[in-house]
Amino acid sequence: MEAFRQAVVNTLERRLFYIPSFKIYRGVAGLYDYGPPGCAVKSNVLAFWRQHFVLEENMLEVDCPCVTPEVVLKASGHVDKFTDLMVKDEKTGTCYRADHLLKDFCKEKLEKDPKITEEKAAEFKHVIAVLDEFSAEELGSKIKEYGITAPDTKNPLSAPYPFNLMFQTSIGPSGVSPGYMRPETAQGIFVNFKDLYYYNGNKLPFAAAQIGQAFRNEISPRQGLLRVREFTLAEIEHFVDPEDKSHPKFSEVANLEFLMFPRQDQVSGQSARIIRLGEAVSGGIVNNETLGYFIGRVYLFLTYLGIDKERLRFRQHLANEMAHYAADCWDAEIECSYGWIECVGIADRSAYDLRAHTDKSGVPLVAAEKFAEPIEVEKLVITPVKKELGLAFKGNQKMVVEALEAMGEKEAMEMKATLESKGEVEFQVCTLGKDVTIKKNMVTISKEKKKEHQRVFTPSVIEPSFGIGRIIYCLYEHSFYTRPSKGGDEQLNVFRFPPLVAPIKCTVFPLVQNQQYEEVAKRIAKSLTAAGISYKIDITGTSIGKRYARTDELGVPLAITVDSTTSVTLRERDSKQQIRVSIEEVASVVKEVTDGLNTWNDVLWKYPTHSSAASED
Amino acid sequence: MEAFRQAVVNTLERRLFYIPSFKIYRGVAGLYDYGPPGCAVKSNVLAFWRQHFVLEENMLEVDCPCVTPEVVLKASGHVDKFTDLMVKDEKTGTCYRADHLLKDFCKEKLEKDPKITEEKAAEFKHVIAVLDEFSAEELGSKIKEYGITAPDTKNPLSAPYPFNLMFQTSIGPSGVSPGYMRPETAQGIFVNFKDLYYYNGNKLPFAAAQIGQAFRNEISPRQGLLRVREFTLAEIEHFVDPEDKSHPKFSEVANLEFLMFPRQDQVSGQSARIIRLGEAVSGGIVNNETLGYFIGRVYLFLTYLGIDKERLRFRQHLANEMAHYAADCWDAEIECSYGWIECVGIADRSAYDLRAHTDKSGVPLVAAEKFAEPIEVEKLVITPVKKELGLAFKGNQKMVVEALEAMGEKEAMEMKATLESKGEVEFQVCTLGKDVTIKKNMVTISKEKKKEHQRVFTPSVIEPSFGIGRIIYCLYEHSFYTRPSKGGDEQLNVFRFPPLVAPIKCTVFPLVQNQQYEEVAKRIAKSLTAAGISYKIDITGTSIGKRYARTDELGVPLAITVDSTTSVTLRERDSKQQIRVSIEEVASVVKEVTDGLNTWNDVLWKYPTHSSAASED
């Protein structure tokens, strides 16, 4: 596993799929650049995301700034709760994540201490399992109990305390307007709900989407490209009537079958199993059709990209993992050398976010369902008689009025009955901390019939959120393999990217360095540009086998070798099969295959196959 | 002008091309969201940029983080010099840009003070003209002289002082690693020069490109979408041998003719004039072919997008505008209601940036030209005899050695001659601040012949840098027009976006609400999706005229009206011409026009024209 990862990462770094950022200055932990092939892969993945989600579902795409004023993230809860627990080396001030230290200690004991008792082993395993739930106090007392010290210096550690993971800054020159680099793109959509709802003709459901950078000032980044301080998110906020979470297109995904890992199965110690999506929804495993629809669409998105479906599962959040307001939550987890990694979160967040911003901003972020005909409803009406209450309670009048108005239907109707039968009633006013006596002339309570023309409500939001960098890293691992060179003396690296993802669709090689072949290569290059196909031309004198190996390592699906002035050899990366195609046709054949109109097997039988000793190595 | 701008901005804001960010919290100056149509326009502009520059020129695209450690921006000069001069209201602490206040004062006097003398008027005009060159002291003394006070309170103002425009933050939890949100994307490319040069097979010239967010913490943002605190840049760094700045494809742009505004013409008070690009380069107005090539490519890019070529000029920087290291610099300026706005900067920055990072990091960012055959060169060799120098100068030995080694060829050869003739020489050692006597036995100086296999040098960089938001805003103004409604009772807004830019390519309207037409509309919608065309379907019962008006206001080039079950009406936005096309064909006709394979005029004569009283209004 470690060796496999090392082989992938070496290839990625050597071929500039990624580069540790600011390398000449010894870099910054958790920051990476995408080099040319990585940048092309990312741009292909994002273009496909746009096609698969935004265009096919007619979503409203928006683009909001990264710099965000404090009030927005105060409302969303990030200012108060977006923290990790940290401990400090008491002498040097170096910071560590408290849970990491405890986890590493337990793992080390389990793996390397032969004298460990069975009882102790069980305890360490238990700690690792429940670690994520520990409070600052619990973490601190375990660290003390085990005598854990700073890993670099063995100095004593401070007690754990929360560190906010947002990059803080200041907006404008005055220094009095704190701001943060957004930790997710979603808030930019929520605060625009009103305008977007209007743009959609005041109709639900609709979805808004955003692709953009997000930032988390990790305490100590680990796991290479998986846990970074700046990353690209692609998020969808699908707004829906909480009373109707059906989806008109659910039938299109209902028959998909894939690995799911429901909450129950996790609790009872079972493994993920293949479930038909339609059954998961009808059986109540997945909360509703819309959530189910997105799970299906995410499955299709990831597998089209080339994620191995045997190493992809949808895991339901346990009750204690889920925010209190969430109705249901599933993670698309992809297995790679680091284990099962959360790459897409798909959550039904109910009305939480819109309510939070409604409360903080005072702007109602609500939707309305207009009734075809007005509906008659009975409404409770409580009218305190302020004059009488004033006479009776003087300075306390306001509290009594508020308490009366705040009564629920049951309480109010009971009061009404008592007042009618007895003329007065004892009434508890919490804000006064005592009971008062309400007389019949102090309040009128009634039920009135009203005609309502619409129902006003806060929509629920279903949020699929994609960590693009994580998906791409897992894709690298799932696409990588090695095969022996023709001589058998070395292992060659290959990325089996589908054409959709491949950074370059095709390479053009003159077989030998001569002017005629180079001119043909240039003609072909021109026709490839005209067809909108990204290609690379290699006119170095390197052996053709070496040039194939270079291009396989970049995951280029097709290679054109110019070996005559009328026709060329077209070679497919994984099968290494070769066909002969005329110079005039070759760009359109490449386009058919890379656009997905035909597969390689479709074109294979149409053209003469080619075999040449010179072709490989 | 003001009224025109207001009409454009109202339309843009009402149709959500953009939205002031965090509007429900009363917004933040200088931050804007792109709403759905604006986001689509931006994504079309960026896709075309990638096609026109990255793909057609085989550039190496990279994607670096926004968070940047201090050392990088220290090397680039941003930490010390990326500032604006600011004054503070001495009582409230409110901040203002010093040059803005002075400019506003002079303008106000010129426009609104009828009693102003001719002499004073000339002075104010002069101040406005040279304002950008004022030092903090000069600005301060003018503000004092004119008695300018804080505009909001009339309180006295502080003296001007520099405010750094970068958003500052802190990387990691310790608080000891300052970082900034990048003010440009270019630095990410420079620090990767070595890897990118290697990726390109150690060959020059090559270009790297990057699209991404950049940040400037403006003191007081003005001019709406033109001066913002976060924006998208698209930058190219073209690395070239300083001894050969020719460009193999220059002939392809040499015959372009457009408005240029050379330095000389500005100084002598002339206007911009039409110059053939080839002449500008051969006549030495533009410094070199590569710079000229990019000027031509930028011209093509902007005019393809729909920028009016009569309101686009290339203005050369005056000597005092240009950085001391720059060889030449031209701005693509677009005229809009705010005046001539710099939208693309095209600068030959010589070797400045690579040298700065070489010096700071210690990593040589250089290129090498391998000679076909080794070249014999004479090299100066200075060998101080440390033993003798040590005896003579004791503790000062090191300084003397360094000074000897640092001698240039001329100085060294003169010393050699003097030593040979007189046996000793007076030699100034700057670091000691005095002359010392060097004797013949203390140093040997000679010229030796060496074979050199390569020439090592720091490449020059030519940098076209695009402010995407500014280009898009100018495009909105250049594309906007109004025309009377059919009844003549109101003015309707239209954006004449080319299909390339249009946020949606086509709309689909059933003429009247009935199930048959709606089914046809859905069939057409499916075929549009399959063809990859973004569309909007409108099945509201609104009059067809109103629906056309709505879609014209979004700049949608084509509209399909379903008015039978076999064929439909296809209408072009600007001409309002209509043709009848069969349901089967309509998607492919739309695709031909929106992909630019055919113009509307090409398809117009192929199909029967349609005229119907019901069609408009």
One DSSP character per residue, A318-342 reads PTTTS-TT-SEEEEEEEEETTEEEE
Of A64, A95, A610, A41, the residue nearest B63 (C-alpha): A41
Of B239, B247, B263, the residue nearest B314 (C-alpha): B263
Q: Which residues, 6+ apart, have CB-to-CB distance to B1 below 8 Å?
A: B337
Out of B218, B230, B529, closest to residue A56 by CB: B529
Residue of B nearest to A193 (CA): B24
Q: What is the pLDDT of residue B615?
A: 47
Q: What is the pLDDT of residue A180?
A: 97
Q: Which residues pair with B180 in a beta bridge?
A: B68, B168
Cβ–Cβ of B192/A33 closer than 8 Å? Answer: yes
Rounded to two decimals, the pTM is 0.89
Place of tokens 């080319």: B498
Cβ–Cβ of A219/B172 closer than 8 Å? Answer: yes
Q: Which residues, 6+ apart, have CB-to-CB distance to B385 below 8 Å?
A: B441, B442, B443, B444
CB proximity A42 to B under 8 Å: yes
Q: What is the pLDDT of residue A612?
A: 59
- The alpha carbon torsion through A173, A177, A182, A185 (nearest 10 deg) reads -110
CB proximity A60 to B under 8 Å: yes
List the single best residue of B23, B24, B91, B165 to mutate versus A (max A Cβ within 10 A): B24
First to last CA, chain A: 30
CB proximity A515 to B under 8 Å: no
CB proximity B95 to A under 8 Å: yes
List the single best residue of B67, B97, B217 to mutate versus A (max A Cβ within 10 A): B67
CB proximity A36 to B under 8 Å: yes
CB proximity B174 to A under 8 Å: yes
Place of tokens 């030959």: B348
Contact A262, A312 (CB under 8 A): no
Q: Which residues of chain A are within 8 Å of residue B504 when distances are taken between CB atoms?
A: none
Average pLDDT, 10 consecutive residues per value, chain B (617 residues):
92 96 94 97 96 92 97 95 92 90 91 87 88 89 93 92 95 91 97 96 96 95 89 98 96 97 93 97 96 98 98 94 88 96 96 95 94 87 90 87 86 91 89 87 90 93 97 98 89 96 95 90 90 87 89 96 93 95 95 91 89 51
Tell me how far apart the alpha carbons of residues B200 and A540 are, in angstroms, rounded to a whole number: 12
Q: Count of alpha carbons within 13 Å of B58, Cβ hemisphere only?
A: 14
CB proximity B60 to A under 8 Å: yes
DSSP A260-292: EE-HHHHHTT---EEEEHHHHHHTTSSS-HHHH
Q: Which residues of chain B are within 8 Å of residue A29 when distances are taken between CB atoms?
A: 172
Cβ–Cβ of B65/A35 closer than 8 Å? Answer: no
ipTM of predicted assembly, 2 dp: 0.88
CB proximity A123 to B under 8 Å: no
Of A473, A7, A189, A26, the residue nearest B35 (C-alpha): A189
B285: tokens are 């107005």
Q: What is the pLDDT of residue B496?
A: 97
Nearest chain A Cα distance for residue B224, angstroms: 15
Average pLDDT, 10 consecutive residues per value, chain A (617 residues):
93 96 94 97 96 92 97 95 92 90 91 87 88 89 93 92 95 91 97 96 96 95 89 98 96 97 93 97 96 98 98 94 88 96 96 95 94 88 90 88 86 91 89 87 90 93 97 98 89 96 95 90 90 87 89 96 93 95 95 91 89 51
Measure Cα distances from A555 to A12, A19, A503, A560, B227 in Å.
11, 18, 7, 15, 42
CB proximity B525 to A under 8 Å: no
Contact B238, B461 (CB under 8 A): yes
β-bridge pairing A83-88 and A95-97: antiparallel
Cβ–Cβ of A23/B60 closer than 8 Å? Answer: no
CB proximity B62 to A under 8 Å: yes
CB proximity B269 to A under 8 Å: no
Q: Which residues of B433-468 are buried (b: 16+ CB within 10 A; e: fewer)?
A: eeebebebebbebeeeeeeeeeeeebbbbbbbbbbb
Look up residue B598 and give its amino acid. N
Of A260, A241, A211, A214, the residue nearest A76 (C-alpha): A214
Nearest chain B Cα distance for residue A227, angstroms: 13
Q: Which residues of chain A are within 8 Å of residue B191 when distances are taken between CB atoms?
A: 22-25
